[in-house]
């Protein structure tokens, strides 16, 4: 059993219509609100109007237009509004990108300098404005964790911002109905993201009965309910199941007591997104099976065998390697079945920047040598090339 720290100070309010409690929750933090959102989906589904009506007694400022793979330019805009208007609380309404940008804005507003400096050196994150989130897309788990991922197109960098204990939303409203409008393209990207978060923590040397079962349960839930959500986007049960499990992703719950993981797939995918702006979940769907194949060997076979038997119900056999390989193939087949890309070429990503990406992972990410099969520069290149 490995030591662990687990601290998730987020009040999750889950269910249909629970947004009616928004004024009561927000008023705990003040009356000047910065409402952040993306490119307009919340207006199309009527959520913007609902929120504005609920906020009639608050002084509301707005930062619209936060893009997927949120950019530091949006963060800087948000910080400027917070400082000028003395904002009390940030209300993030959207998917992971909106919540992530809001986290950088929240700490940037309490920092005397450029918010990108906080991404480059997270030890400078000491204080932040409170954040309340209303989630509209199930994928990242940003609604229930203290981290964010911010892109700087000028430097081709997409880097994590960590602020455990500081950047978690104080309250997150999780109403599955707000995800009915999520198109198939984003529903499947979210599925790949949730599965990747889980595998990053599950495929490690030592686990334990509790979190093995939790990880296997998350993946089985995603496999079952993504198919239903694609066929029937307004299926409450399917959207609710996906919303529930996605929050566990980066919260730390799935990693308790396990061998610490360096999150190899995320390290590599963030590089691809940094250079090409592809959808995070698409990159993960491509990288993950190739990383698993790279990691599978005689020393690691037990973990992959367990995955194959417990997640895909493959028959037990004395030929563990064969079953383990079949389990990885099953995962790749599921991704293909729901319409996810299987190669980088499909997304028009070529090998031009692979060297730079590999070098950048090694200098800006935690060391990958603690992975179930240690990954060095050659390993990163091998996984990238297999993904082409
Ligand atoms: O911008 P709008 O108009 O809102 O449209 C968004 C966007 O185009 C749309 N969308 C969101 N909710 C919708 C909807 N469309 C219709 N109906 C709705 N209800 O979906 C598109 C993608 O949104 P985005 O927020 O970018 O997606 P996601 O939640 O997958 O977030 C991805 C970002 O989160 C980072 C990723 O790297 C990426 O930058 N991650 C954050 C993590 C964290 N904070 O813990 C961990 C993850 O591993 C991940 O790296
Ligand atoms: Zn992710």
Ligand 1 close to Cβ of residue 215 (< 6 A): no
Evaluate whether 172 touches 135 at the Cβ level (below 8 Å).
Answer: yes
Q: What is the pLDDT of residues 88-119, one digit of tens each?
A: 999 999 999 999 999 999 999 999 999 999 99
pLDDT tens-place string over residues 344-360: 999 999 999 999 999 99
Q: Which tens digit of pLDDT belongs to each residue from 8-21?
A: 999 999 999 999 99
Which pLDDT belongs to residue 55?
Answer: 98
Residue 102 Cβ contacting ligand 1 at under 6 Å: no
Q: What pLDDT does 333 receive?
A: 98
Mean pLDDT of 241-269: 97
Q: What is the pLDDT of residue 167?
A: 98
Q: What's the pLDDT score for residue 50?
A: 98
Position in ligand 1 atom list of the atom nearest CA 160: 50
Would you say the CB of residue 159 lies under 6 angstroms from ligand 1? no
Question: Which pLDDT value is given to residue 103?
Answer: 98
Quote the pTM value: 0.98
Domains by residue range for the chain, with CATH? 11-178 (3.40.50.1970), 184-387 (1.20.1090.10)
Please tell me the predicted confidence (pLDDT) of residue 244. Answer: 98
| 143-168 pLDDT per residue, tens | 999 999 999 999 999 999 999 999 99
Mean pLDDT of 261-280: 96
* Any atom of ligand 1 within 6 Å of the Cβ of 153: no
Return the ligand 1 atom nearest residue 68 CA.
26
Ligand at minimal distance from the CA of 168 is 1
Percent of the chain surpassing pLDDT 70:
100
CB 229 within 8 A of CB 189: no
pLDDT (average), residues 175-195? 98
């Amino acid at each position: 059993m490995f030591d662990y720290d687990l601290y998730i100070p987020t009040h999750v309010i889950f269910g249909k219509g629970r947004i009616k409690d928004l004024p009561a929750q927000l008023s705990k933090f003040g009356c000047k609100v910065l409402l952040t959102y993306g490119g307009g989906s919340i207006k199309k589904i009527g959520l913007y109007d609902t929120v504005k009506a609920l906020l009639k007694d608050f002084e509301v400022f707005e930062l619209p237009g936060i893009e997927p793979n949120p950019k530091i330019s949006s963060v800087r805009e948000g910080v400027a509004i917070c400082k000028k208007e003395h904002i009390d609380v940030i209300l993030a309404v959207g998917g992971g990108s909106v919540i992530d940008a809001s986290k950088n804005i929240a700490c940037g507003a309490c920092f005397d300098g450029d918010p990108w400096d906080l991404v480059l050196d997270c030890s400078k994150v000491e204080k932040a404005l409170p954040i309340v989130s209303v989630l509209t897309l199930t994928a990242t788990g940003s609604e229930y964790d203290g981290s964010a991922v911010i892109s700087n197109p000028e430097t081709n960098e997409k880097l994590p911002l960590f602020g455990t204990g500081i950047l978690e939303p104080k309250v997150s409203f999780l109403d599955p109905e707000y995800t009915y409008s999520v198109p198939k393209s984003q529903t499947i990207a979210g599925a790949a993201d949730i599965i990747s978060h889980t595998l990053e923590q599950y495929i490690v040397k030592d686990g334990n009965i509790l979190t093995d079962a939790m990880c296997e349960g998350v993946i089985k839930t995603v496999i079952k309910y993504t198919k239903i959500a694609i066929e029937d986007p307004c299926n409450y049960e399917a959207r609710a199941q996906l919303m529930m499990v996605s929050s566990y992703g980066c919260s730390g719950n799935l990693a308790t007591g396990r061998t610490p993981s360096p999150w190899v797939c995320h390290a590599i995918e963030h590089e691809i997104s940094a250079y090409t702006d592809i959808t995070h979940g698409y990159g993960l769907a491509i990288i993950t099976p190739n990383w698993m194949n790279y990691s599978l060997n005689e020393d690691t076979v037990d973990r992959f065998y367990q995955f194959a038997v417990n997640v895909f119900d493959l028959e037990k056999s004395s030929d563990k390697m064969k079953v383990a390989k079949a389990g990885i193939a099953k995962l790749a087949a599921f991704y293909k079945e729901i319409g996810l890309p299987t190669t980088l070429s499909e997304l028009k990503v070529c090998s031009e920047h692979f060297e730079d990406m590999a070098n950048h992972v090694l200098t800006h990410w935690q060391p990958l040598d603690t992975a179930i099969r240690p990954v060095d520069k050659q390993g990163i290149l091998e996984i990238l090339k297999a993904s082409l």
